[in-house]
Amino acid sequence: GAVVSQHPSWVICKSGTSVKIECRSLDFQATTMFWYRQFPKQSLMLMATSNEGSKATYEQGVEKDKFLINHASLTLSTLTVTSAHPEDSSFYICSASFHRPLQETQYFGPGTRLLVL
């Protein structure tokens, strides 16, 4: 149980285009989903926390207009990188936690590698 999928796993795009990444909890309902990015040889950096049916909470320094997050259902959250630039190239990982009080274990998706040319 507790499987999280991400799609796509790899994306290469031209500078200026927008890219959408999907995160799905496959066998459980996730009230909360999290989006991280990770640069080579660095730890995970939380970008935003997304609760189903409400606006995402962004971490300091993360532009909410650039990284649009939608959490429309208990099993799906999307991250859209708008007008992507080469500096947005990174490994984007989502995670989800159970729809249960005090359940803080996060289960991670396999990640999406974004390369912006």
Kindly list the residues in this chain that would bind another protein in the complex (CB under 8 A).
Answer: 2, 6, 32, 34, 41-44, 46, 49, 93, 95, 97, 102, 104-111
Q: How far is the CB of 86 from another protein (least distance, A)?
A: 23
Give 68 or 107: the residue with its C-beta nearer to another protein.
107
DSSP letters, 48-108, are EEEETTSPPEEPTT--TTTEEEEEEETTEEEEEE-S--GGG-EEEEEEEEESSTT---EEE
Q: How far is the CB of 3 from another protein (least distance, A)?
A: 11
Give 14 or 104: the residue with its C-beta nearer to another protein.
104
Q: How far is the CB of 53 from another protein (least distance, A)?
A: 15
Tell me the one-letter amino acid at 27: D
In the block, tokens 């730890």 appear at: 43
Q: How far is the CB of 91 from another protein (least distance, A)?
A: 8
Strand order in the sheet with 67-73: 4-7, 19-25, 76-81, 67-73
